[in-house]
Amino acid sequence: MTTTSVILPSYDHGASDRPLLGETIGENFNRIATAHAGREALADRSSGRRWTYAELHHDVLALAQGLLRLGIDKGDRVGIWAPTCPEWTILQYATAEIGAILVPINPAYRTDELAYVVNQAGIRLLVAAPSFRTSDYAAMIEDARPDCPDLRRVVLLGSTDWHALPDRAADPRALAARQVLLSPDDPINIQYTSGTTGHPKGATLSHHNILNNAHLVGQVLGYTELDRICVPVPLFHTFGMVIGNLGATTHGACLVYPAPAFDPAATLAAVAEERCTSLYGVPAMLIAILAAPGFDAYDLSSLRTGILAGSPCPVEVMKQVVDRMGMTEVTIAYGMTETSPVSAQTRADDTLDRRVSTVGRVHPHVEIKIVDPKTGVTVPRGVPGELCTRGYSVMLGYWQEPGKTAEAIDTGRWMHTGDLATMDADGYINITGRLKDMVIRGGENVSPREIEEYLHTHPDVRDVHVIGVPDARLGEEIMAWIRLRPGARPMTAADVRAYADGKLARYKIPRYVQIVEDFPMTASGKVRKVDMRKAAVQTLGLADIAASQYA
């Protein structure tokens, strides 16, 4: 008798004996705030202000009642354009209490980008900081208003209008009457994704989407009301407002905001002085934190967990986060704005090898499959393909763009991520690149991620990103952008080639190397490789070749 091994398909589902929450965000927050009324809910380091759950709940309800007084209806879009601050969060929960749709606006946007989002979303009320750093928000809003006919009111944080907005004496029956009309499946958030070409798309998310995703992320991290979560990631992104804010409040934990925008020293001080148990960041943030002057002087002994997400985390960075920061239960989370955002996550009991080499297993109540990008057929485990995800977390669609929605979500309600991945025999997922990031050199498919991981092992390399640039003979050549560690000797392309020789296949070794101080980044901390390619084409004198390839 002979036996044959069973080849499993690259499919997995997050079976769970814990039901999904069937509440709106307002219902959940009201319940949690009542249960944990005396516990600290929010500590804002830059202003020195603090709120218990009872105090935060009081301010949220007052603002919700003020929005009702303004005539904000269920489904009306309310924009928020500001850096991290408590007012951002109070508005987030207040809009949820009345069923208005919050539209976070990227703090890095300029006038034209602001006008596009205001008009595309149909924002009726815009709440904004007057300015931040070099951005004069108030002036840009005035420049944009003539082109934004649906924008009826602007309220600047700190102004008389803002302070007059909360209604602390309103009859609570009006708010109760509104809440009866709300459903967990209502849209509650429009998140504009960081488009690499053209205008950004507005991923429309429901109470059910983001409340449950935040709650389940917290469950995976083992959160209780005793946790204190340091959130240096921006609130306008799902990492901040969903995993950060809702991830904390669904468990009665405390939020700690280190600064209005990411600052390594402020983050370290917040963790040390607030005794934070959890820390969030994209890999670029953790690299900056680990390199911060005086790092070893900060007491980080309270840290046990956290999340690294947003882009692939280099193995060497992950090891340092565990060894030098004491985040022994740190997890890698994988997802995208359109999936609320997390679809896969490592677990605290995973081996370090699993946590440095994969993005974990499928999330509770979610399905994942990996398909052949050309045929759509699920591939066997271990075979690379495009990662797709399905479940409660998939967005309602792109706001007012059914065509683009249909391109992303197929008829089976599978969200096509555009990420290349493999699934191993135990269901662990490894992200190997982006469909659009793959470099094709002389007919060979080259994964930038593989090269980046290897170059991160060089003792002088602080961070590295690999791109493809036009080449007349091979179609594309490989280029590495490298940030060196402080005090490192200068590095040339020849040095990189010598280091990789015999370790990487010759066709994977970068032909070009550029040493840089910083990478072009989105405000949420993701490297913009499209900008790197544009700059490289000019720097290397490849404009004619690029033009001929795309003629």
Domain boundary residue among 391, 423, 455?
A: 423
Strand partners, 444: 441
CATH of the domain at 71: 3.40.50.12780
How far is the first Cα of the chain from the last one, in angstroms, to the nearest whole number?
A: 61
Q: Is residue 428 part of a domain?
A: no
Q: Is residue 431 part of a domain?
A: no
Contact present, 43 and 256 (Cβ < 8 Å): yes
Q: Is the pLDDT of residue 185 over 90?
A: yes
Instruction: Summarize pLDDT for 107-116 with one digit per residue, the tens.
Output: 888 888 899 9
Q: Is the pLDDT of residue 26 over 90?
A: yes
Angle at 92 (CA atoms; ends 86, 95), nearest 5 degrees: 135
Instruction: Summarize pLDDT for 130-143 with one digit per residue, the tens.
Output: 999 989 999 999 99
Count other C-beta atoms under 10 Å from residue 321's C-beta.
Answer: 26
Lowest-pLDDT range of 37-46, 143-152, 376-385, 450-459: 450-459
Q: How many domains, in total, are found in the chain?
A: 2
pLDDT reported for residue 444? 67
One domain, residues 366 and 471: no
One domain, residues 114 and 194: yes
One domain, residues 400 and 355: yes
Q: Is residue 194 part of a domain?
A: yes
Q: Is residue 21 part of a domain?
A: no
CATH of the domain at 497: 3.30.300.30
Count other C-beta atoms under 10 Å from residue 463's C-beta.
Answer: 23
Count other C-beta atoms under 10 Å from residue 404's C-beta.
Answer: 14
Place of tokens 């910083």: 518
One domain, residues 133 and 233: yes
Instruction: Summarize pLDDT for 370-384 with one digit per residue, the tens.
Output: 999 999 999 999 999
Q: Is residue 2 part of a domain?
A: no
One domain, residues 205 and 251: yes
One domain, residues 414 and 441: no
Instruction: Summarize pLDDT for 51-76 with one digit per residue, the tens.
Output: 999 999 999 999 999 999 999 999 99
Label residue 394 left, alpha or beta by phi (over 0 means left) and psi (-120 to 50 means alpha).
Answer: beta
One domain, residues 384 and 456: no
Domain boundary residue among 397, 423, 449?
A: 423
One domain, residues 186 and 220: yes
One domain, residues 300 and 446: no
Strand runs labelled E in 424-460: 429-434, 439-441, 444-446
Q: Is the pLDDT of residue 550 over 50?
A: no
One domain, residues 367 and 486: no
Q: Is residue 86 part of a domain?
A: yes
Q: Is residue 12 part of a domain?
A: no
Q: Is residue 3 part of a domain?
A: no
Confidence of residue 548 (pLDDT cuts 50, 70, 90): low
Instruction: Summarize pLDDT for 470-509 with one digit per residue, the tens.
Output: 887 777 899 999 999 999 998 998 999 999 888 887 878 9
pLDDT reported for residue 524? 64
3-state SS class at 485: coil
Strand partners, 430: 422
Residue 458 belongs to what domain range? 437-549
Please give the backbone phi and psi of residue 156, each rounded to the nearest 5 degrees, phi first.
Answer: -90, 130
Domain boundary residue among 388, 423, 458?
A: 423
Mean per-residue pLDDT of the chain: 92
Q: Which of 284, 331, 55 is nearest to 168 (CA)?
A: 55
> How much of the chain exceeds pLDDT 90, in percent?
78
One domain, residues 39 and 93: yes
Q: How far apart are CA 529 and CA 536, in angstroms?
A: 10
One domain, residues 408 and 464: no
